[in-house]
Structure 1
Amino acid sequence: MDHNKGLSTQQVADILHVSKSTIYDLIKKGEITSYKVGRKVRFTQEDVDDYIARARSLQAASAAKTYLPNDLMVGANQSSQNFIICGQDVILDVLSNYLRLNGISALRAYIGSYDSLVSLYQGKVQVTASHLWDGDTDEYNVPYVRRLLPGIPAVVIHLTCRVQGFYVAKGNPKNIRTWSDLARDDVAMINREKGAGSRVLLDENLRLLGLSGAQINGYYNETSSHLTVASAVSSGEADVAIGNEKIARQVDNIDFIPVKKERYQLIVKKEDLNSHEVMTMLKIIRSATFKKEFANIGGYDTTDIGQIVAET
């Protein structure tokens, strides 16, 4: 299948065995990614695959919980407004599911870290997840929160640590080990979209090396998920891509070369910190039950989860 081919709303509806109106509802809720060509809505196969993967994760979490453990029960308050959590990791899908079980209308927006912070600044979402690295301070997220939320006091809450690195072909035949290797003539990469945490990590390292994207083969070949860049390396379409360790374990015929331990964190406006929704979210992520969900899944370190690490 050509994964770059645009799919129509009807084709996606046929794949998912639902009506076209259901697809439009998913778009409105931000649960499936789409784009427009003129006035027509189109999807990539990756958009559909990502939606299916997230839906399966939520169903698995729901099936495993016929009741809420005591450490996840907060109260009977029913949320009257949508509570939107922005970010692309499955840990956020599970969190949203627990929030809904607590009566909070939690929705998901699947966009990258940079655009997520802009959406928080604009008041379009209530919580955003971020993993943006600043090369000058070797610090995650806080410098970007200060820049992208000017004049808005915010709180940074630690969620998990993940390892970022290079996806390379099995056996690493081109011996790709460092950021400078990406500038070699015999290496072609596939890149993440602008604003994604992995893209920012790449761009900051290239800046520190005095390199530009124009010097990197494949730099302008962009796609929108860890899974799709890993799959491109697996199929031989590219020699290298940047992504997290967890996805590398899900794709055949690739190896993972670790380069950076990153901090994946939640950001909320300080004015919302004591709201019922945010307090419920904090109770959930700090609970033993939530930590246990991810304790045995590779690629997650839940040490210090739920800890407030900065206020801006």
Structure 2
Amino acid sequence: MTNDMSYTTEEIAKLLKVSKLTVYDLIKKGDLPAYRVGKQMRVDASDLDAYKHKAKGIADSGLRPIPHAASAAAIQPPAPNKRMPQLVITGQDISLDLLAKHLEKHAPGIRPLRSYVGSLDSLISMYRGESDIVSTHLIDGDTGEYNLPYVRKLLGGFSYTVIHLLSRSAGFYVAQGNPLGLQAWEDLWRPGLRLVNREIGSGARVLLDEQLRLHDIDPRRLTGYEHTESNHLGVAGKVASGEADVGVGIEKAAHIVGGVDFVPLIQESYDLVMLNRPENRDWMETVKRILRSESFHQELSAIQGYDLSRTGQVLLET
């Protein structure tokens, strides 16, 4: 490796044969120095070499084994080299990028990092101690309630705060003019309809699966159910290109992609979860102030498809 080389978090994960969340955790704990280039985190080759040598040295000394996958974060940084505290913010919505930007400005003692994973995986990452602020939009089909049923089940042993970020419309992406006249969840049962899906663990996938269950539609009989995209833009793009007839996602992506219409079916709650720990108290208060600030609302209001009437409202605090 040469000193002027650098790697993305995805490249580091492949080189170390660990998950990307593990890489974020190494960065967060100060084991792996990183810096931001635009919205992307990068690690210099020399710092990666130093980390590998340190990890190998610890393993050779018999103190700890070489890390594998999620256990890689077990290695602690040397005490004299304390680095700026780092917060991992999970989720894919652009509002989270704006939140990270405001945190950089109003909490100069911390460094926000972004992890672009789905809602269920976000909560699991918090349970594992791999993230600090997680976003979620998971519906419980039986009650119609968003997020809180999942938070209670997955984080039952923790003290946490759930705070509302925004509401947004979710529904169908369809071809322009909606030539098939798709208007309701039960329309997904039509023979020959080509679906494009989201990945397991995403809020849109949970929304679709819950609606299929409630309407007694067998997903195995849906053409394209196994065809997945990793974000709303990818789903809308497949419909816009004519490769699929319908997909489930949020309204904003339809406006960004173009060439596709949107059929609103539900107003979903997009919320943030943070753990109530003494060391988190200061930055959690900063997050609450940001969410309620006029400047943050002004930036979000410029984005089509957001309802900010409850932004900053604490939904649950244990």
Superposition map of 1:30-45 within 5 A = none
Change (3 A) 1:283 1:180: same
Partner residue of 1:191? 197
Shift of 1:153: 2.2
Is this contact kept in 2: 1:128–1:267, CA < 8 A? Answer: yes
Match of 2:140 in 1: 134
CA contact (8 A) 1:193 1:199 kept: yes
Match in the other structure for 2:100 = 96
**Structure 2 letter corresponding to 1:190:** V
Give CA-to-partner distance per residue, 1:201-255, whole Å, 9 cap, x none.
Answer: 0000111112221021110101100001100000000000001011111122211
Residue 269 of structure 2 corresponds to residue 286 of structure 1? no
Amino acid at match of 1:25: T
Alignment-derived partner of residue 276 in structure 1: 282
Find the counterpart in structure 2 of residue 223 from structure 1.
229
The one-letter code of the counterpart of 1:91 is S
Pair 108,38 (structure 1): closer, same or farther in 2 beyond 3 Å: closer
- Pair 273,236 (structure 1): closer, same or farther in 2 beyond 3 Å: farther
Distance 1:28 1:144, change over 3 A: farther
DSSP-derived class of the 2:307 partner? coil
Q: Secondary structure at the match of 2:316?
A: strand
In structure 1, the partner of 2:30 is none
Identity %: 43
CA-CA distance at 1:56 after TM superposition: 7.7
Give the number of aligned pairs.
256
Query: What is the one-letter code of the residue matched to 2:103?
Result: L
Change (3 A) 1:182 1:269: same
2:97 counterpart of 1:114 = no
Amino acid of the structure 2 residue aligned with 1:233: V
* Unaligned 5+ runs, structure 2: 20-36, 41-82
**C-alpha distance in 2, partners of 1:277/1:253?**
41
Residues 144-163 of structure 1: pairs in structure 2 closer than 5 A: 144-163=150-169
Say if 2:29 is the partner of 1:25: no
CA contact (8 A) 1:174 1:187 kept: no
The CA deviation at 1:27 is 2.8
Please, what is the CA RMSD of the aligned residues? 2.8
Determine whether 1:234 maps to 2:217: no
> After superposition, where does 1:248-267 map in structure 2 within 5 Å?
248-267=254-273
Rounded to whole Å, the distance in 2 between the matches of 1:94 and 1:130 is: 16
Give how far 1:284 is off.
1.1
Please list every run of at least 4 consecutive aligned residues from structure 1 whose deviation after the TM superposition is greater than 2 angstroms: 19-22, 24-29, 36-41, 54-57, 270-274
* Cα pair distance change 1:21/1:163, threshold 3 Å: farther
For 1:88, give the aligned amino acid: Q
Does the C-alpha gap of structure 1 residues 124 and 20 become closer, same or farther in structure 2, counting only changes over 3 Å? farther
1:15 aligns with none
What 5-or-longer segments of structure 1 have no aligned partner? 1-18, 42-53, 58-78
